[in-house]
């Protein structure tokens, strides 16, 4: 077996192996259905009622439901992938991952894909129930663009999650605080529940470093072309998302290597209770 083929085999098997516990967990611990579907729907509903009370355009209800669905992916990246290395370190699994001749990105990708299954159910449920309860209708003007934007958003988003995860190789609770710190500001800056354009050009431009900001904006434009709340042209946003995807994955790869080496040097790679 050539070196490349051997490495690829290990990579693919690692992804499947690490995704497996998450997929199995979905079947064996069904309580997630309540926590992942019903509760997020309540938060989304609150924004819908606010817009309705203010007499906003009907498209805003659709914006909120779509934002509510995409929130699931951000939460998944933050809590089920980035911070997962913290738990793996505490339980002793991280050391076992690290002594295996496999890629750290493969392990994170496995976590991401496994977690994505539950997240997608949550996102679909929010979309479906939101549509049924609030009578939201989506008119997809271009399925190809929609799927491409969605795919690129996820790649860039999970790339960003891998960058955050690398911090946990070196840090413990300090990195946990970083995740806490990111949660709420990103809710604001990425425009989960409102069009990002309303923040003004420069803040929106800065917020575009968060992949979900542009992803959400582009998807809203594709689903509601007549609303006129788009920040940038869909084509430009798609291009930026493609660039972010590559850049974040490359940075994640380098960060994982670099911080692992620093942690090995400082003796913090497997230290628990940090």
Partner 1 sequence: MSQTFAVKTEHLGRIYQIKRKRGEVGLKTLVALEDVNLEVRQGELFGLLGPNGAGKTTLIKILTTLLTPTSGRAWVDGIDVVENPQEVRRRINMVSGGESCGYGLLTVEENLWMFTQFYGLDSKTARERIQYMLEVVGLADRAKTKAYHLSTGMKQKMNFARGFLNDPKILFLDEPTLGLDVQTSRTLRDFIKRWVRERPGKTILLTTHYMAEADELCDRVAIIDKGKILACDTPANLKKKLQGASIFKLQTTPLDSLEHFKQLSGVVQFAGYRRNGHTELNFILEDENALVKVLDALRAKGGHLLSLEKHEPTLEDVFIHLVGRGLSDEEAPPERLL
- Three-state SS for 9? helix
Task: Note whether 24 binds partner 1 by CB under 8 A.
Answer: yes
Which two tokens mark 75?
């939460």
Residue among 8 and 38 whose Cβ is closer to partner 1: 8
Is residue 10 a contact point for partner 1 (CB under 8 A)?
Answer: yes
> Do 81 and 61 contact (CB within 8 A), yes or no?
no
By CB under 8 A, what part of segment 41-100 binds partner 1?
91-93, 95-100
Per-residue DSSP letters for 195-206? -GGGG-HHHHHH
> Tokens representing 247?
């850049």
Cβ-based nearer residue to partner 1, 103 or 145: 103
Residue 161: CB minimum distance to partner 1, A? 20
Q: If residue 167 lies in a helix (H) or strand (E), which one and from where to where?
A: helix 143-170
Of the candidate residues 55, 200, 267, 273, the single one contacting partner 1 (CB under 8 A): 267
Torsion of CA 150, 151, 152, 154, to 10 degrees: 80
Does residue 223 contact residue 198 with C-beta atoms inside 8 Å? no
The CA radius of gyration of the chain, in Å to the nearest whole number, is 19
Residue 265 makes contact with partner 1 by CB under 8 A: yes
Is residue 21 near partner 1 by the rule CB under 8 A? yes
- Residues 90-109 within binding reach of partner 1 (CB under 8 A): 91-93, 95-102, 107
- Near partner 1 by CB under 8 A, which window of 41-49, 52-60, 221-229, 257-265? 257-265
User: Residue 96 has which token pair?
Assistant: 């076992």
* Encoded tokens for 16: 């499947």
Residue 18 found at the interface with partner 1 (CB under 8 A): yes
| Residue 4 in the binding site for partner 1 (CB under 8 A) | no
Beta carbon nearer to partner 1, 91 or 183? 91
Question: Closest CB to partner 1 among 67 and 114?
Answer: 114
Q: N- to C-terminal Cα distance for the chain?
A: 41
Site residues (CB under 8 A) for partner 1? 6, 9-10, 13-14, 16-18, 20-21, 24-25, 28-29, 91-93, 95-102, 107, 261, 264-267, 269-270
């Amino acid at each position: 077996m050539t070196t490349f083929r051997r490495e690829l085999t290990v990579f693919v098997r690692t992804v499947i192996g690490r995704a497996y516990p998450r997929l199995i967990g979905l079947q064996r611990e069904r309580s997630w259905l309540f926590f992942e579907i019903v509760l997020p729907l309540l938060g989304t509903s609150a924004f819908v009622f606010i817009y309705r009370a203010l007499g906003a355009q009907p498209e805003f209800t659709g914006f909120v439901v779509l934002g509510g669905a995409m929130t699931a992916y951000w939460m998944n990246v933050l809590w089920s992938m980035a911070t997962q290395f913290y738990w793996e370190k505490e339980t002793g699994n991280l050391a076992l991952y690290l002594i295996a001749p496999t890629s750290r990105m493969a392990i994170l990708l496995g976590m991401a894909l496994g977690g994505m299954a539950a997240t997608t159910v949550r996102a679909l449920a929010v979309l479906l129930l939101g549509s049924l309860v609030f009578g939201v209708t989506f008119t997809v003007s271009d399925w190809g663009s929609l799927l491409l934007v969605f795919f690129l958003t996820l790649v860039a988003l999970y790339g960003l999650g891998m960058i955050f995860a690398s911090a946990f190789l070196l840090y413990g609770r300090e990195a946990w605080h970083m995740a806490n710190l990111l949660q709420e500001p990103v809710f604001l800056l990425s425009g989960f529940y409102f069009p990002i354009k309303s923040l003004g050009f420069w803040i929106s431009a800065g917020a575009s470093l968060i992949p979900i900001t542009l992803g959400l904006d582009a998807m809203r434009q594709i689903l509601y072309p007549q609303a006129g709340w788009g920040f940038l042209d869909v084509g430009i946003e798609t291009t930026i998302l493609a660039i972010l995807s590559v850049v974040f994955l490359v940075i994640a790869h380098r960060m994982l290597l670099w911080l692992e080496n620093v942690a090995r040097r400082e003796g913090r790679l497997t230290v628990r209770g940090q």
